[in-house]
Amino acid sequence: MEESQKKELDLTARLMSDMDPQLLEFLRTKINSFVKWDLVRFFHENPHTADTVENIARYAGRSSEAVRTELRELAEDGVLEETQLGSMTIYSLTSDPQIRELLRRFAEASDDRQFRIKAIYHIVRGSRGNPHVSHPGQYFKHNHTKH
Amino acid sequence: MERVKTGIPGLDEMLHGGFLPQTANLVEGAPGTGKTTLGMQFIYHGIVACEEPGIILTFEEFPQQYYRDAANFGWDFQQMEREGKLRVVMTSPEVTKADLERVGGRLEELIHEIGARRILVDSISHFERLSDDRSSLRELAYGFVNALKREGLTAVLTREQPALLGDVLSPEDGLAFLVDSYILLRYVEIESTMRKALLVLKMRGSDHDKGIRQFEITSRGIEVRTPFEGREGIMSGSPRRMMDSFVQAFVRR
């Protein structure tokens, strides 16, 4: 292993060591992109919303292409529910109280700058392995200025 | 006869006690006239004074906007949601339409979950984007209103009126004929100040006050005041003193 890789792993370990393990796991396994972060925040704030990809994209200020896969993955991971309504595919927040509670804690923790920095670092690192994101830094700059 | 009180001082008096139960009531006005405030007050009053939980179905604003606006009047909508007395649901007309057409839809679940008796739909104007065809729009409106009544809800439906002053151009979706009551909110220019006027245009199955009343949005919500007196052409937005009209009509130049 190269020296630079070792250093990065050390930094990651330090950054993540004091994170709530459940939130860290939630972040690692379910919210591994900034689009998903935006989407879960949107559903946390609008827990009764049930809508199509196109409308959710509009509410979240993103394009349909940007949210389509992310919504499907969030549904596969149990954060959202996917329902077929006639010819429409509808997404809504899961009714699972445990996931809802995790979301609440995640949203609460996101108010803290230190937590945000760690979460952003984690997502940027994670997205390097994502073939859909060619340049994570640029992706972050253009799509996630709020965080 | 049983009435569903709006809780708005002056308006219940105009409605001879309030809306009739399980009816659809249209509130139309230009932006900023107070349609949403009137609807929120109707929902708030139902929860705090009548033990009637409510739903706000919005096609436009995020729930946070309602929480903020309501808080300005001292109404804690977030607490009401936590207590299971209120649900603020943001969705789209197409999803709502499809949802109401099936048994055990989301809206139906929510209604049963909190025992909702009142609903604010803000605003029904968004249904217009579902079709360009007038007869289809009319069918949509019929289906939607009937579904709300079927659920036993008393509904306030808001509708945008693009004209701030002058002639009122209502969309030809047949909603005015379909609803049980029709309330018009208007800006009125009097002596270089902008005031607001309220008129109950129609109330099916009940008598009502036909006067045009002034109203204000205060820190407690909407308060309907005295009628405009000694003026005519109020709903045109630019009223004249009746004496001026009399002179114009009878004095030869």
Give the pLDDT score at A53: 95
Contact call for residues B222 and B216 (beta carbons, < 8 A): yes
pLDDT at B121 over 60: yes
Does the distance separating the beta carbons of B64 and A48 come in below 8 Å? Answer: no
pLDDT at A115: 81
Q: For residue A77, what is the DSSP state?
A: T
Q: The complex's ipTM? A: 0.71
pTM beyond 0.90, yes or no: no
- The per-residue DSSP string of A4-67 comes to HHHHHHHHHHHHHHTS-HHHHHHHHHT--SHHHHHHHHHHHHSTT-EE-HHHHHHHHTS-HHHH
DSSP-derived secondary structure for B9-64: TTHHHHTTTSBPTT-EEEEEE-TTSSHHHHHHHHHHHHHHHH---EEEEESSS-HH
Q: Which of B92, B102, B110 sits opposite A48 (nearest CB)?
A: B110
Among partner residues B62, B64, B98, which is closest to A85 by beta-carbon distance?
Answer: B98
pLDDT value, residue B173: 62
Q: For residue B48, what pLDDT band results from cuts at 50, 70 and 90? A: very high
CB-hemisphere CA count at 13 Å for B236?
Answer: 6
Measured between beta carbons, the chain A residues lying within 8 angstroms of B91 are: 49-51, 55
Answer whether residue B198 shows pLDDT above 90. yes
Which B positions 89-128 lie with beta carbon below 8 A of chain A? 89-92, 94-95, 98-99, 101-102, 106, 110
Tokens of B131: 């079709």
Q: How far apart are CA A79 and CA A100, in angstroms?
A: 8
SS3 B132: coil
Asked if the Cβ–Cβ distance from B92 to A88 is below 8 Å, we say no
Q: Given an 8 Å threshold on Cβ–Cβ distance, is B95 in contact with A59?
A: no
What number of C-beta contacts closer than 8 Å exist between A and B? Answer: 42
Q: Which candidate in A42, A44, A46 is best for mutational testing of the B interface (most B CBs within 10 A)?
A: A46
* Contact partners, residue B152, CB within 8 Å, separation at least 6: B22, B117
Average pLDDT over residues B4-8: 96
Reading chain A (147 residues) residue by residue, the pLDDT tens digits are 666 666 665 666 666 667 788 888 888 888 888 899 899 989 998 888 899 999 999 888 889 998 999 999 999 999 999 999 888 999 999 999 999 999 999 888 888 888 888 888 777 776 555 544 433 333 333 344 443
**DSSP secondary structure letters along B204-229:** TTS----SEEEEEEETTEEEEEEEP-
